Amino acid sequence: MTHTPPGMTTPPPSPPPAAPTKTSGHAIAGLIVGLGGLCTCGVGGIAGLILSVVALKKIDASGGTLGGRGLAIAGIIASAVCILVGLIIGLGVLVAFLAASRSDTHYGGPERDWNDDPDWSTPAPSPGTLLPPGVALVLCPR
């Protein structure tokens, strides 16, 4: 037994050590999948966004026993950026495709009238008549 002098009280017992917080697996997966969305032109970003939002809700509802809030927020941001980049790339490809399909200068457009064009002196030879297979002929205007 320990003796305490009169007028002194014993200090209260120290609180038990806090349980270590576990990092949310959804938060880690959301960040990784969201960053991987750059390789899939934004498609993976959708899955990363869903995983990160679910992780953020679970972390908030855990009462402090689940960590990884920063990872979940980073996953949301990375996923949103990947989705935006994917949309921009997709729209660019669509515009290029539509522009090429409406152009008259691509293959299948109107044929050139070699006799009426003053910039060209001779008509192009038909394929295979003058040159062996695999050899290309380049015509230059005079």
Q: pLDDT digits over 34-75, tens only? A: 988 878 878 889 999 999 999 999 999 988 889 999 999 999
Other beta carbons within 10 Å of 94: 10
Tokens of 140: 């230059």
Question: Which has more confidence, 34 or 4?
Answer: 34
From residue 32, alpha-carbon distances to 23, 40, 67, 88, 134 in Å are: 14, 13, 17, 22, 48
Residue-level pLDDT at 92: 92
Residue-level pLDDT at 106: 47
Instruction: Decide if 29 contacts 23 (C-beta within 8 A).
Output: no
pTM for the whole structure: 0.58
- Span 90-139, pLDDT tens digits: 899 999 988 887 765 545 545 655 556 556 555 565 655 666 666 666 66
Burial of 79 (0-12, 13-18, 19+ CB in 10 A): buried
Residue-level pLDDT at 142: 61
Question: Which has more confidence, 106 or 88?
Answer: 88
Cα separation, 42 vs 84, in Å, equals: 7
From residue 39, alpha-carbon distances to 24, 73, 74, 83 in Å are: 24, 20, 18, 11
Residue-level pLDDT at 138: 67
Residue-level pLDDT at 124: 61
Residue-level pLDDT at 2: 61
Q: How confident is the model at residue 15 (pLDDT cuts 50, 70, 90)?
A: confident
Cα separation, 99 vs 37, in Å, equals: 28
